[in-house]
Structure 1
Amino acid sequence: MTRKSHRPSLKRHMIKLAECPACQGRGVVQGVFYELDCEACNASGWIDRWLNQPLPLQELAVQLGMNLRAALKRIEQLKSTRSTGPEAYYQEGNRLGAGGTNYTGD
């Protein structure tokens, strides 16, 4: 259930972005002799996924920053997950050799 409010939200929400279908996310389209800025996405390569319209440049900068922070956070979460049990022992290097070298049993 949504609340009624008589003022704009004080918190920005992440907008789902999609690659521009006109330029396939490149930001430029091929002209006759040279590449031109894509008009469909304001030469950014990104549009609003739900509205299929380009974002204003200031809003686009904020949204790209929010998406970047979310992606970096997700990468850190994936890096920090450690294996447990037999899998952890298997993933860890074999340190049984002299001087920490890999012991092969020969």
Structure 2
Amino acid sequence: MRKSHGPAFKKAVIELARCPACRGRAVVTGVFHDLPCNSCNASGWVAAGTGETLDLAELVTQLNMKLQAALRKIEQMKNAPAPGPEAQYQTNNRRGAGGTNYTGD
């Protein structure tokens, strides 16, 4: 491990897992009503490797990083070219009259 001074330049991503005590629901069933889960600070998430509770400031940061990654993946899937036969209809193949799209229909 290298020696370094000061905080890290990038925030480390901690793998999150659902809390085993409440199964990600953030509440546990009491005798008469639901109670906040003490194992995960009523968040439903714990560190995947160790199973320990994250403090709330760290949890918010990790959930935001996870959300941003999911949004990036959704945008990539939206911008991906259409698979299969419909790909021919979505792009211009310049085979028609005057260089227009020809689909063969």
1:43 and 2:42 matched:
yes
What is the match of residue 18 of structure 2?
A: 19
What is the match of residue 33 of structure 1?
A: 32
Taking structure 2 as the reference length, the TM-score comes to 0.76
Name the Cα RMSD after superposition. Answer: 2.2
The CA deviation at 1:84 is 6.5
What is the match of residue 8 of structure 1?
A: 7
- Give deviations 1:20-69, integer Å, cap 9, x for gaps: 01000000000000000000000000000011001000110111111000
1:61 and 2:50 matched:
no
Q: Distance in 1 between matches of 2:34 and 2:90?
A: 49
- Give deviations 1:49-98, integer Å, cap 9, x for gaps: 01100100011011111100000001111111103784502679xxxxxx
Identity of aligned residues (%): 54
1:78 and 2:77 matched:
yes
Q: Tell me the SS of whatever aligns to 1:5.
A: coil
What is the match of residue 99 of structure 2?
A: none
Q: Tell me the SS of whatever aligns to 2:35.
A: strand
Q: Give the unaligned 5+ runs of structure 1.
A: 93-106
What code does the residue aligned with 1:25 have? G
What code does the residue aligned with 2:21 have? A
Change (3 A) 1:5 1:35: same
Q: Distance in 1 between matches of 2:49 and 2:80?
A: 33
Q: Tell me the SS of whatever aligns to 2:65.
A: helix
What is the match of residue 98 of structure 1?
A: none
What code does the residue aligned with 1:37 have? P
The CA deviation at 1:5 is 2.2
